[in-house]
Amino acid sequence: MTARPNLLFLSLWDASNRNAESGYAFSMRKQLQKQFAVTDFFPLQIPGERFLYPLRAAYKAIGQYYHPMREPVLLKSLARKIESQVRLSKPDVIFVPSSIPLTYVEARCPTVYATDQLFCDFVDTYIAAAAGRFRELGNMQEKRAIDRVTRATFPSEWAASSARQRYGAPDEKVAVIPWGANLPKPIPEEIVQAAISSRPFNRCELVFVGRDWARKGGDALVATVEELNKAGLPAKATIIGSDPPDIDRKQFDVFPFINKGKPSHFAQFTSIMLRAHFLFLPSRAEAYGQAFCEAAAFGVPSIGSTVGGIPTIIRENETGFLRPTTTPPSEYSELIRTVLADPARYARLAQQAREDYLQRLNWDTFGEQLNGTLMASI
């Protein structure tokens, strides 16, 4: 029997914890273990980071955002720690679910990373007032990491495009590999099919998943539910991950936290998803959007926005719908009512969403593609 290649898995987070960072490091590590003899080195602590917290506080005092994570002196110190581990484990390849740890690492073996967004998109989308130093160092770090690694993988065309256009990554270095649904176990086909066929068309149930109520478009959800009811289609929504104030609890069921790693919580999550007609998540910013992958696993079509990585996940009029962030609630309401007025059309959307999950939006498919990319790099 041929020995499996050795892989050093680095992570800033605890990759043994399914709930850390949306679970993607956990899922990636699990897939890599199928092909490689994996040596873990996580969670990584960036040496000396705390000594620059006063600088962070000083920037905050003048209304600017700064974080020391991308300071070269700290990343060089982290690189020395990683290189010591490289000498001990002698890997055939190194993999990291982040670009940051590899920025200054000297290694003779191939290095590959995965991330859902580049620094340029992070700072432009999420940071209102980035300090000049933070912006400059972040772009330098991202550029250096892309230049040095063997391959850079991204779950969306949006992120891959930023790597090419903003940081000059050559096409042969970039791979687009969609991430999968963050679920502890698969949903049996017969259960999904029974749910799709039993969803009624004389009412509508939406589901919203996200901690950041404003960024995920929570206000649009509330207004769309109101529009649906005014238009004569009884509608309710289940909100998972947020606890917004001042909403009508007759029209909204609220679950501020569901831990899918707990069997009882996952059973509750499963029940909610199976009876939903649509995942409604008109995000104003979204690096990827694993909730859309999860919805597809339950045969639930999605309604999302045209930002970030979402267009890689949702296939317009096949597995759901993509609309600009400026779309008014009346248009969302009309779209939903039109689709539910045509049961055959809705059934096709639900079936195609499920099929897309089985073929593309699951971690096994991700693992096959990533493992192939890594093996080709050795």
pLDDT digits (tens, 9 = 90+) for 302-338: 999 999 999 999 999 999 999 999 999 999 999 999 9
Residue 247 in domain: yes
Question: According to the model, what pLDDT value does residue 333 have?
Answer: 98
DSSP 195-255: HHHH--SSSEEEEEE-S-TTTTTHHHHHHHHHHHHHTT--EEEEEES---SS--TTTEEEE
> Coil, strand, or helix at residue 65?
strand
Residue 130 in domain: yes
- Using an 8 Å Cβ cutoff, are 333 and 308 in contact? no
- Using an 8 Å Cβ cutoff, are 184 and 270 in contact? no
287: CB partners within 8 A, 6+ apart: 116, 117, 121, 122, 156, 159, 308, 309
Q: Are residues 27 and 175 in the same domain?
A: yes
- Using an 8 Å Cβ cutoff, are 137 and 52 in contact? no
| Residue for token pair 């670009």 | 99
Number of domains composing the chain: 2
**How many other CB atoms sit within 10 Å of the CB of residue 328?**
13
Q: Are residues 225 and 156 in the same domain?
A: no
Q: Are residues 225 and 299 in the same domain?
A: yes
Question: According to the model, what pLDDT value does residue 248 have?
Answer: 87
Q: Are residues 120 and 209 in the same domain?
A: no
Backbone angles phi, psi at 107, to 5 degrees: -145, 145
Whether cis (ω within 30° of 0) applies to the bond prior to 43 is yes
Cα 330 to Cα 18, 207, 224, 335, 338, distances in angstroms: 38, 18, 7, 9, 12
Residue 338, both tokens: 């039109």
Backbone angles phi, psi at 94, to 5 degrees: -115, 135
93, 77, 115, 153: CA torsion to nearest 10: -30
Residue 231 in domain: yes
pLDDT, tens only, 107-121: 999 999 999 999 999
Q: Are residues 79 and 38 in the same domain?
A: yes
Question: According to the model, what pLDDT value does residue 2 have?
Answer: 66
DSSP bridge pairs for 64: none
* pLDDT-based confidence at residue 22 (cuts at 50, 70, 90): confident
- Stated as kind and residue range, the H or E segment containing 238 is strand 235-240
Residue 1 in domain: no
Cα distance between residue 371 and residue 378, in whole Å: 11
- Using an 8 Å Cβ cutoff, are 172 and 149 in contact? no
Q: Are residues 84 and 145 in the same domain?
A: yes
pLDDT, tens only, 143-156: 999 999 999 999 99
Cα distance between residue 50 and residue 47, in whole Å: 8
Q: Are residues 171 and 203 in the same domain?
A: no
What percent of the chain has pLDDT above 70? Answer: 99
Backbone angles phi, psi at 68, to 5 degrees: -80, 0
96 pLDDT higher than 90:
yes
Q: Are residues 44 and 16 in the same domain?
A: yes
361 pLDDT higher than 70:
yes
At 294, which amino acid appears? E
- Using an 8 Å Cβ cutoff, are 155 and 180 in contact? no
Q: Are residues 168 and 209 in the same domain?
A: no
At 124, which amino acid appears? D
- Using an 8 Å Cβ cutoff, are 138 and 132 in contact? no
Residue 57 in domain: yes
Beta strands in 57-139 (DSSP E): 93-96, 111-114
Q: Which residue has the higher pLDDT, 251 or 3?
A: 251
Mean pLDDT of 331-358: 98
Instruction: Give the chain's largest Cα–Cα span.
Output: 68
253 pLDDT higher than 90:
yes
Q: Are residues 281 and 173 in the same domain?
A: no
Spacing of C-alpha 342 from chain mean position: 32
Beta strands in 17-104 (DSSP E): 37-41, 93-96
What is the C-alpha R_g of the chain? Answer: 22
Q: Are residues 370 and 260 in the same domain?
A: no
DSSP bridge pairs for 303: 280, 321
CATH, residue 118: 3.40.50.2000
Q: Which domain holds residue 54?
A: 6-180+362-377
1 pLDDT higher than 60:
no
* pLDDT-based confidence at residue 76 (cuts at 50, 70, 90): very high
Residue 258, both tokens: 């569901």
Whether cis (ω within 30° of 0) applies to the bond prior to 263 is no
Q: Are residues 270 and 348 in the same domain?
A: yes
Residue 257 in domain: yes
- Using an 8 Å Cβ cutoff, are 155 and 178 in contact? yes
